[in-house]
Copies of this chain bind each other. A is one copy, B any other.
Amino acid sequence: MRLRDWPLCCGTWLLVMVVAAVPQALADPLPTWRDGAAKTAIMDFVARVTDPEGRDFVPVAERIAVFDNDGTLWSEQPVYFQVLFAMDRVRAMAAQDPSFADTPALKAAVAGDWQALFTDHGKPMGAVLNATHGEITVEEFQKRAGQWLREADHPDTGRPYDQMVYQPMLELLRYLRDEGFSTYIVSGGGLHFIRAYADGTYGIPPQQVIGSTTQERFELVEGVPQVIKEEGVFFINDKGGKPVGIDRHIGRRPIFAAGNSDGDLEMLQWTTAGQGPRFAMIVHHDDGAREWAYDRDSKIGRLDKAMDLAPEEGWLLVSMKDDWTQIFPWGNR
């Protein structure tokens, strides 16, 4: 290159950089969110807290966003997927060794007898969870859960469970991260079950998953250090447990929270009661055609009290039917 070519060279590069930046700046970060009040509310909030000149600016370290999982980031019908995993797991273990299903609870699981499993305050179901989630190393459990999530098919859509996630929420997670937010899952579901797919599917690394947990112990097994999941519950990260789980794991109050049921109520309250700008949203399952329609009377993901509180609390109620142009990454149910 001759010296007199430099200015042209620099000018050309400048042009290339500007052109390359334009699509990025104009691109819609939430393409499957229909233009309207919900999308505008989200984007206005993000614009406010990320404007360094604005009075509502929030430093990156404090841009904490928390998301419920079941019913908020992926489907939860006909029943929480982790329960279906436990049922499949019992059947697989019984197929290998029939003596495994030697109790009424495990026999009911093999037979698919839901009614029996949820009698006696759900104690038989608890036994099924213990048998499938206890006395197994964390490593082995996550391997099995991950395989099931990729390979087993949802009974209604025939899709693998890790594809039953909501495309608009994937976009929202990514959009918030692009704007400097740290995105956390705060779920009543099992910590290790969610970790088995959260990084690959949601882009949420294991240290940003907060969930319910079994007891665990450290043990040298034939000289090899192992962390082993045990039978029995250590912590239920649901309802009032969500703000507690957030405190223990994050230690900062979120500024953005998303849920879909009364199990998220306390998390939304905790988030929006903080000083400064706060945002809370509820995913409303009102799309029986493309997903499922349920709220006040549902056994799974009941949304009742939180829906009543939403207007006075200023929480955004997101209509899956009206606010989303598409439900799943592969289309609709």
Tell me the A residues contacting B by CB distance below 8 Å.
3-4, 6-7, 10, 61, 138, 191, 195, 205-207, 209, 213, 216-220, 224-225, 227, 240-244, 247-252, 266, 269-270, 273
Contacts and interface: CB of A to CB of B under 8 A. Distances in A.
A273 B218 contact: no
Nearest to A213: B248
Contacts of A273: 224-225
A252 B241 CA distance: 24
A247 B216 contact: yes
Copies in the complex: 2
Contacts of A242: 218
Given A4-B4, A225-B266, 4 more contacts: A6-B10, A191-B251, A218-B241, A225-B243
B195 A218 contact: no
A223 to B, nearest CB: 9
A244 B270 contact: no
Contact of A244 (B10, B209, B217, B250): B217
A266 B218 contact: yes
Given A244-B218, A247-B216, A252 B7 contact: no
Contacts of A207: 207, 249-252
Contacts of A240: 217-219
A129 B6 CA distance: 71
Contact of A243 (B206, B227, B243, B269): B227
Contacts of A7: 3, 6
Contacts of A249: 207, 249
A205 B270 contact: no
